Amino acid sequence: MIRQLSGIVSESQLVTTDVELEPYGRDWHSYHSGVPPDVVVFPTSTAQVSAILRACNDAGFPVVARGAGTSLEGHTTTPYRGVCVDLSHMDAIVSVRPDDMDATVQAGVRWQDFNKALAPHGLFFAMDPGPGATLGGMAGTGCSGTNAVRYGAMKANVLSLTVVLADGTVVRTGSRARKSTAGYDLTSLFVGSEGTLGVVTELTVKLQHLPQQTAVAVAAFPHIRAASDAVLATMRSGVHMGAVELLDTNMIGAVNAQSGFAYPATPHVFFKFTGSPAKVADDAARVQACIRAHGGLDFQWTPDQAARERLWEARKVALWSAGAMDTSRKVATTDVCVPLSRLPDLMAAMEGRAAASPLKVYAVGHVGDGNVHHFIAFDPDDAGELREAKALNDFLVATAQGMDGTCTGEHGVGVGKVKYLEAEFGGAALDVMRAVKAALDPRGTLNPGKKLPGCAVPAAADAAASAPH
């Protein structure tokens, strides 16, 4: 296979030594263990990706596409070894069309770099997942972030994709029209499919106007239920929020310690207001009324842009802050999402469960969408702590699914959530998904072991490598 790949890409685009491969075997952001791939290849064009996939598919070799590797559920690990296709060298912004409010980029473009290029046009790309993520990876995972309550998730922000199928076929999933009902919606099928149906090499995405004004306020609450009730009331009031982020007491402690804030040790909600000055003032007045009605202790505007950015940056690095509180432990991330009215019950239930646990749990969430992350600090080498971390996750997922919610709002399935899908969808819906997978990737070449339970693995997969994740 390495010989074949050498015929497709140059020597500098191939990595085959153990020391270079080792980092690709780990998931840096989760406790999902792994083994390195046999080879990493850095294509620079869709044509190269096509040739690579055709060769791997013919040989029965597993292919795992990778952007920046910032995903959180082991999406880019290589449990069956094989070929890791690292798309980070395909990082060209192909075209920005301000009047169409869209742009075309290669898969390896990072969202923060993209936004820097868009700012002179008064535009931005609205998704804000973990720092460093690439657009291709964001399409794979179906990411969202703090802005999703305002602009929708990744699926709502992609117009069309260039995708390489398992056998090397290149397809474009749609036009640049902002609406279409022509054909089946392949764009939405590939977005969030985690590289199991095809490898995204190019994306055409919708852009948004930079808001005329952005204002950020922080409200404190006596307990988690009051905070989540206030969020529910805010959403129900009809205010079109820019972002609504809830941090529990432990998370506020971590933000204080790691980012130099001094918030009181109670749950807080960060509100972002965007729009014209008149709209921002009007929205803020309505939100303040909701906060007062739900026992809010305090409501403070961040005075200027620097303070706003510092606060939002602190929110952005919440996961790192939680991890930094106890460097002897790792952090397991969770990601449930429930119908809006169930959020207070979910938060209270998990806080109760966590209080009875020896492990420390931090909560932060995009709660305007009913989406929350709990960070569970644990020692992966301590079997008891590992078991307890998994039990906390199991409890949270079962609680959310019992509320007609989902096991993952935005982090995706990877290897970490595969076991929860049956309970969420039932076997018949999973059979439909497996039928789609088999139709598009009959040999199981693409990202085996991820996204769905019970799919085929390719013939030359290194079964011995697929240790428990």
Distances from the Cα of 38 to the Cα of 61, 88, 164, 446, angstroms:
10, 18, 21, 15
Sequence-distant (6+) residues with CB within 8 A of 48 are: 8, 9, 13
- Measured from the CB atom, the residue of 372 and 389 that comes closer to a copy of itself is 372
Q: Is the dihedral of CA 150, 336, 158, 86 positive or negative?
A: positive
- Measured from the CB atom, the residue of 92 and 189 that comes closer to a copy of itself is 189
Q: Decide if residue 183 touches a copy of itself (CB under 8 A).
A: yes
Among 1, 47, 223, 282, binds a copy of itself (CB under 8 A): 282
- Measured from the CB atom, the residue of 25 and 74 that comes closer to a copy of itself is 74
- State which of positions 218-237 bind a copy of itself (CB under 8 A): 232, 235-236
| Residue range at the interface with a copy of itself (CB under 8 A); choices 37-45, 174-182, 317-325, 354-362 | 174-182
Among 100, 309, 326, 379, binds a copy of itself (CB under 8 A): 100
Among 58, 313, 431, 459, binds a copy of itself (CB under 8 A): 431
Q: Decide if residue 429 touches a copy of itself (CB under 8 A).
A: yes
The answer to whether 215 touches 311, Cβ cutoff 8 Å, is no
CA 401/CA 430 separation, integer angstroms:
16
CA 22/CA 88 separation, integer angstroms:
18
Among 74, 129, 365, 409, binds a copy of itself (CB under 8 A): 409
CA 40/CA 20 separation, integer angstroms:
9
| Residue range at the interface with a copy of itself (CB under 8 A); choices 91-99, 127-135, 242-250, 320-328 | 91-99
Q: Decide if residue 439 touches a copy of itself (CB under 8 A).
A: yes
Among 193, 201, 249, 447, binds a copy of itself (CB under 8 A): 193
CB-CB neighbours of 10 under 10 Å: 10
The answer to whether 294 touches 278, Cβ cutoff 8 Å, is no
Extract the tokens encoding 171.
């397809």
- Measured from the CB atom, the residue of 351 and 369 that comes closer to a copy of itself is 369
Q: Decide if residue 452 touches a copy of itself (CB under 8 A).
A: yes
Among 404, 454, 459, 463, binds a copy of itself (CB under 8 A): 404
CA 163/CA 193 separation, integer angstroms:
12
- Measured from the CB atom, the residue of 106 and 157 that comes closer to a copy of itself is 157
- State which of positions 328-387 bind a copy of itself (CB under 8 A): 337-342, 369-371
Residues present in the chain in total:
469
Nearest distance in Å: CB 265, a copy of itself: 29
Q: Decide if residue 169 touches a copy of itself (CB under 8 A).
A: yes
Angle at 148 between CA 195 and CA 181, to 5 degrees: 65
111-133 b/e (C-beta count within 10 Å ≥ 16 → b): bebbbebbeebebbbbbbbbeeb
Look-up of token digits 């598009």: 440
3-state class of 74 per DSSP? coil
CA 397/CA 402 separation, integer angstroms:
8
Among 16, 33, 115, 188, binds a copy of itself (CB under 8 A): 188
Nearest distance in Å: CB 355, a copy of itself: 25
Nearest one of 152, 148, 143, 149 to 412, comparing CA atoms? 143
- Measured from the CB atom, the residue of 265 and 429 that comes closer to a copy of itself is 429
Q: Decide if residue 172 touches a copy of itself (CB under 8 A).
A: yes
